[in-house]
Amino acid sequence: MFVFGEVQEPLDETSQLVEDITRSQIIETIQRAVHICNKRGSKFLSSEDLLFLIRHDRSKVNRLRMFLSWKDVRKNSKGGGETKPEDMMEEEDAEKPKVKKMKIKFSWDMINSFSNVLSDDEDEEEDEEGREAYEDQVARLKVADEVTKTMSKEEYIYYSDCRQASFTYKKGKRFRDWCNFSSFYENKAKDEIMEILGFLGYEIVSQLTETGLLVKKEWAKIEQEQRKKNFVRDAGLEDKKYLFGKPASEQTPLLPIHIQEGFRRSQLINNPLQNFNGSFNISDKVLKLAVSEGCVNLEKDVVIEIGPGLGSLTRSAINLSPEGIYLIEKDPLLKNTLVELKSLSKDRIKKIFIDDALHFKQDALMKEILAMAPKKIHIIEMTFLFQSEIGEKLTAKPGTKFRGRLTNLFDTLCTVKDKFYLTSQCFVPVPKVDVAVLKIIPRKVPLIPEGVSKEFERVVTFSFLKKRKTITNSLKSKCRDIKSILKVVNIDGSLRPEELTTEEFIRLYTYLTANNIRIK
């Protein structure tokens, strides 16, 4: 724990809690690995049974690859023995065998099935995996550097000894007894399996300590803000320093409650926010078409994209050189992908908001846009992708089968300038429906000046409740005098609701509102 940022002498109860959690996690790992072994129909536990359990944690898998690879290097380098001087003289020009770091491959990697065909790409794949493991190592070295900056020589020697601590090195029997290995697996386990279990134990302690420190930091910040609120009348009280007071930078040990909260967070499963049945568009030609046809010249405009997902459309919009792009994404799991895209956007992407667009507080966004373009803020147009059926409903003309409640409500506020379709073959996986791309322009003056009210929505909704009925028959149960009212507002009562224009529905609504007549 000291290696990962905790104080040199942690609390006994905290250390005991970390040990108990680590032991329980190791035991559960053994049980699940043995279960997988039994499902394979094998009596002998293999390293891949353990590796299969962590296959979704890519960073941990890459670190384990690196760990096993360098362990193989050390094992091979120790087998050479001593070289005599006369041997060096005689075979000076001979070709010397080199110890090569072995690349660890896992059976569930589909690419391994085609390794002979795609052998040229192995180096690139290895470089990517090595780079990710290297980045994790650099991040941990930075933490170690911060921890050791103010250490004395004796403290650093102790810290170095702690870094070399292991669950299994020269204490394999104690480790087996500690995790009660023989109770879950009858056969003798390979050394490689015990090394992997020791590595996983090291990772568990690391995660518990680092997450506990993060929890402690968050709670301390909240406590400090609350303290400032409580002492708001004594503005200088927080800044006072006393002769025998503790240093502001003195680190306090982790409490068991910090470890418990850290463990709780680590057990949370990041499920999707909803059952995603959509598809990702991967065709560059289609993306360019959708953006170029769906957008005006963006060189001096600000773009707000709702639900960028993996950023496919965003990349195409960046190429049009807008003044700024703001992203609103609901799923926090996509944040890292969008942040990486922002770093590559040449400052085109100004800010990313992780929030639900339906409940999004627009103040923060408006402040950002006001700071960029304080004199000119208005929505020129909006481009949306809908299922083709929804696109037909939004743009349906009077007398067509797709015209309905949604059409009339939409028509009071917006108009559709352009519309085109993308076939399902443009998406992967292929959906069952085509996609409509609509360029929507808000009306400068809505057809209902005061906006769409609940009453207008009720009039339109009840008109379309009964299919294949005339407007008179649809509303007569809700309003007794509807027949005479339709004559007054010059609407043919024998027409069906889908044959009426939005203006005719507005005339009916205006008359009902003016005469205090409610559709019930």
Contact 318/345 with Cβ under 8 angstroms? yes
Please tell me whether residues 205 and 318 are part of one structural domain: no
Nearest to 54 by CA among 202, 217, 200, 231: 200
pLDDT at 90: 44
Domain end position, chosen among 442, 463, 482: 442
Binding annotation for S-adenosyl-L-methionine:
307, 329, 357
Domain end position, chosen among 194, 215, 236: 215
Which tokens go with 402? 């797709």
* In a domain? residue 233: no
What is the spatial distance between Cα 228 and Cα 235, in angstroms, rounded to a whole number? 8
* In a domain? residue 258: no
Instruction: Look up residue 344 and give its DSSP letter.
Output: T
- Neighbouring C-beta atoms of residue 290, cutoff 10 Å: 23
Please tell me whether residues 58 and 131 are part of one structural domain: yes
* In a domain? residue 241: no
pLDDT at 470: 92
Phi and psi, residue 440, nearest 5°: -105, 130
Contact 181/190 with Cβ under 8 angstroms? no
pLDDT at 129: 60
CATH value at residue 378: 3.40.50.150
* In a domain? residue 265: no
pLDDT at 471: 92
pLDDT at 153: 81
* In a domain? residue 402: yes
pLDDT at 221: 84
pLDDT at 133: 66
Please tell me whether residues 409 and 436 are part of one structural domain: yes
Beta-strand pair 382-387/414-422: unpaired
What is the spatial distance between Cα 300 and Cα 193, in angstroms, rounded to a whole number? 60
pLDDT at 490: 93
One-character DSSP codes across 409-455:
HHHTTEEEEEEEEE-GGGEES--SS-EEEEEEEE-SS-SSTT---HH
Please tell me whether residues 15 and 113 are part of one structural domain: yes
pLDDT at 110: 43
* Total structural domains within the chain: 3
Contact 408/505 with Cβ under 8 angstroms? yes
Domain end position, chosen among 215, 235, 259: 215
Please tell me whether residues 366 and 477 are part of one structural domain: no
* In a domain? residue 398: yes
What is the spatial distance between Cα 462 and Cα 482, in angstroms, rounded to a whole number? 13
Structural domain boundaries, residue 313: 280-442
* In a domain? residue 237: no
Please tell me whether residues 357 and 459 are part of one structural domain: no
Please tell me whether residues 427 and 484 are part of one structural domain: no
pLDDT at 111: 43
> Which residue positions in the chain have pLDDT lower than 50?
80-95, 99, 106-122, 124-125, 233, 272, 274-277, 372-377
Binding annotation:
307, 329, 357
Please tell me whether residues 371 and 468 are part of one structural domain: no
Please tell me whether residues 403 and 508 are part of one structural domain: no
Please tell me whether residues 347 and 414 are part of one structural domain: yes
* In a domain? residue 86: no
Please tell me whether residues 477 and 438 are part of one structural domain: no
What type of residue sits at position 342? K
Please tell me whether residues 470 and 430 are part of one structural domain: no
CATH value at residue 475: 1.10.8.100
pLDDT at 380: 66
Which pLDDT tens digit goes with each residue over 401-437? 899 999 999 999 898 877 778 787 776 667 778 888 8
The residue behind tokens 């503005």 is 235
